[in-house]
Structure 1
Amino acid sequence: MNDDELLAGIRDAFNVLDPVPDGVLAAARASIAWRAEGATLAELARDRGGQPAAGLRGAAGRVLTFACPGTEVEIEVAEHGRDRELTGRLVPSAPALVQVRHRDLPPDAITTRAEPAGLFCVPRVPAGLVSLVFRLDDGTSIVTSWIRL
């Protein structure tokens, strides 16, 4: 018995004894469609959930900051029942097409524009796992890591 035959036997045993759930396989296959090739990943740097932003009065919202080399994306999340409203800005400011990626929606279901000052607002985003893609007018792209809203 060679290594390939041994690995095939082990794989067959796992498929019988502990198969991967169909939902997990479907999610893994679908994740390939969510890739944003050539985009710079902006990872979550800060999550101020429920803490009021400095100098603001009123209800505490969730403020998220995503960072990548040379750019930050700041997003405030306001809850409206099952939906969320996302307001934010790109730092440094730049105009961009903003695409919301949500696991329960088609890829281009929610889009808006960030104005030249980098400000944007996305109303009615369903609660759940979300990632944002910013397609800047200079041809570059930034994608945020996935976050549960």
Structure 2
Amino acid sequence: MLRALRDIAGRRDPVPEAVLSAARASIAWRDPDAALARLTADSAAHRLVAVRGGGSPRLLSFFGGSLTIDVQATTREGGVEMVGEVSPPVPARVVLESPGGSQETDVDDEGRFRFQGVVAGSVRLRCEPAGGAAVHTEWVLL
């Protein structure tokens, strides 16, 4: 009986593919040894009126483990550009994760990194310092 009801519900009101994709991605990105970098500052929290058309940069700061990750996200034609800095500057790989996939880059000698063409939506960063524990930021909605 339950199987028949589940089949009927699945045909009449299926779970949206974006929800299934996000659920699968969240399980795939588990890393129990990683530190969580909490959002400590968000310039969007201080905006009273949204600017039509975007373009105004959003500043985000995360702190976790022994790292601070500062990010500037700017909506541009073709997606969101994210420019960030890991402090203290350490050799590391930064991975931008979203339900639609991931992008990777290395930080430069001054701890800076950049992602272009990021699809607006839920994102988080994973910083993997050479020889250290990974740090994941909280998920944020761009």
TM-score normalized by structure 1? 0.71
Q: CA deviation at 1:29?
A: 4.0
Q: Aligned to 2:125, which of 124, 129, 132?
A: 132
Q: Aligned to 2:39, which of 36, 44, 48?
A: 44
1:104/1:25 Cα in 2 relative to 1: closer, same or farther (>3 Å)?
closer
Deviates more, 1:42-51 or 1:73-82: 42-51
Q: CA deviation at 1:32?
A: 0.8
1:27/1:122 Cα in 2 relative to 1: closer, same or farther (>3 Å)?
closer
3-state SS of the aligned residue for 1:49?
A: helix
Please say if residues 82 and 127 of structure 1, whose CA atoms lie closer than 8 Å, have aligned partners that are also in contact.
no
CA distance in 2, matches of 1:84, 1:27: 19
CA deviation string 1:14-50 (max 9, x = no partner): x7xx999634566434421121331111011110139
One-letter amino acid matched to 2:88: P
Gap regions ≥5 residues in structure 2:
47-54
One-letter amino acid matched to 1:94: V
Gap regions ≥5 residues in structure 1:
1-10, 52-58
Q: Which residues of 2 match residues 110-125 of structure 1 at below 5 A?
A: 110-125=103-118
Q: CA deviation at 1:92?
A: 1.2
Which one has the largest radius of gyration?
Answer: 1
CA distance in 1, matches of 2:76, 2:45: 15
CA deviation string 1:96-138 (max 9, x = no partner): 1111101112x4xx11111132111111111111011111112
CA distance in 2, matches of 1:25, 1:84: 24
Partner of 1:55: none
Please say if residues 95 and 137 of structure 1, whose CA atoms lie closer than 8 Å, have aligned partners that are also in contact.
yes
1:21/1:42 Cα in 2 relative to 1: closer, same or farther (>3 Å)?
farther
The percent of aligned pairs where both chains have the same amino acid is: 30
CA distance in 2, matches of 1:86, 1:133: 14
Please say if residues 50 and 61 of structure 1, whose CA atoms lie closer than 8 Å, have aligned partners that are also in contact.
no
TM-score normalized by structure 2? 0.74
Q: CA deviation at 1:67?
A: 1.0
